[in-house]
Amino acid sequence: MWPSASAGEVTEELIEERWRQATDPGTLAAARRMYGKAAMAAALNAPGTPYWAKLHQLKARTLITWGRDDRVSPLDMALLPMRLIPDVEVHVFPNCGHWVMIEQKDAWESVVLAFLTRKDEPSR
């Protein structure tokens, strides 16, 4: 688990711990299995419909949160699910990278709680 940090604070301790986890031989091997050339080729050649072509079938209200400055998963990656999922909200957090729930902890929690506790609007 991640070392504790105060709201929104990415500490040196947190960075060091994440680096240790990311460079662990088991983690690297798992990442190669999931994201390596063989895995990508298998995914491209897999029979059936790709997951993104099924996003329009989602029935549940959906919340997507994203850091505007995410260098791992750039913001434009949110455009496809945003356009395809019928009942989706996308919240983009400024001055925030990949760890929205850490970097913008209070704002993220506020958005998630508001989403989860909002009463559904009656059908029109």
- Which sequence positions are flagged as catalytic? 98
Encode burial over 22-34: b for 16+ CB neighbours within 10 A, e otherwise. eeeeeeeeeeeee
C-alpha of 52 from chain center? 15
The CB density around residue 43, as the number of other CB atoms within 10 Å, is 12
Distance CA 18, CA 55 (A): 31
Distance CA 8, CA 119 (A): 28
